[in-house]
Amino acid sequence: MAEFSIIERYFNRQQQSDVDLGVGDDSALLTPPLNHQLVICTDTLVAGRHFPLDTSAHAIGWKSVAVNLSDIAAMGAKPHSILLALSLAQIDHDWLKDFSQGLYDCCDQFGVRLIGGDTTQSPQLTITVTALGWIETGQAVTRAQAQVDDLIVVSGSIGDAAFALQHLGHPLQQRLDYPTPRCELGAMLKGLASSMIDVSDGLAQDLGHILDASKVGAKINLNQLPINPALRDLSENQQWKYALAGGDDYELCFTISMQNYDKLLQLQPNVITTIIGKVTQQCGIAFEKDGLDHSLQLQGYQHFA
């Protein structure tokens, strides 16, 4: 089967009205909404590196979209569309059917459309998705505006996916295979959060990117980490390792003033958020437990380890 036959069979659905030209031409055409900026990001998933080799095709399709929508959400933006670059070792129609269904299931849930991309042959399965979104001009939430005394908040629970990766078959594998991008929460935080990032490489490492960009520090209360009850039988050190250095959570970590956090709660977000610490003047991350300083050595996900 030729490349264009694969695209036509599995990756060409009728576009929504705000896509001027989608799948089937050299490039897609979009008309930006008035007074908006384009938000764009890309992520590559490699078989055996970013997901276990026996992961279902449907889950791979879902996750390849979800991890990109999470980046869009972390800017406070509304996701709009995606591009897909797919490298396949061979043509497997059952796999392609399930993969494309997983991709479209995630797109449909978050109001996103596939508008173009590329397919090619490669010795290793590789999926690259580029996501596009819109945000009102000047309203994007970046990593660089955290303020001393802001609260540090995280959505959902953290450490689930990292635990599941080490315990395949556990019910928490659903969190590893089917992450939920916090698009609604991200949009709510526009104009409220001072900085934001999605948690992909471990909470401590990703929070560190905010601190570096904002030139501030943080104190994290280990007692306040939102750890899933399924991990509570582990030692505290194991819990903290999964939660702070595990990665693949795709939750949102953000800094926000107490006044604006109260405003967020009044909006009743559809996901629980937890205050885990405060922004400080001293650079780096300090930890405390039971009101006392606590030393931890952590390393998040390394892309070239």
71 among annotated binding-site residues: yes
262 among annotated binding-site residues: no
- Number of neighbouring beta carbons within 10 Å of residue 147: 13
54 among annotated binding-site residues: no
201 among annotated binding-site residues: yes
118 among annotated binding-site residues: yes
200 among annotated binding-site residues: yes
- C-alpha distances out from residue 70 to 41, 66, 128, 155, Å: 10, 6, 15, 12
233 among annotated binding-site residues: no
- Residue 222 is classified by DSSP as G
49 among annotated binding-site residues: no
93 among annotated binding-site residues: no
Residue 2: exposed, middle, or buried by beta-carbon count in 10 A (0-12, 13-18, 19+)?
Answer: exposed
Listed residue (140, 300, 76) closest to 209, CA to CA? 300
20 among annotated binding-site residues: no
232 among annotated binding-site residues: no
Q: Name residue 45's beta-bridge partners.
A: 127
Contact partners, residue 292, CB within 8 Å, separation at least 6 = none
| CA 299 – CA 198 distance, rounded (Å) | 17
CB–CB of 137/45 below 8 Å? no
Positions at the binding site:
26, 42-43, 50, 71, 117-118, 143, 198, 200-201, 248, 301
Positions at the binding site for substrate:
50, 248, 301
Positions at the binding site for Mg(2+):
26, 42-43, 71, 118, 198, 201
Positions at the binding site for ATP:
117-118, 143, 200
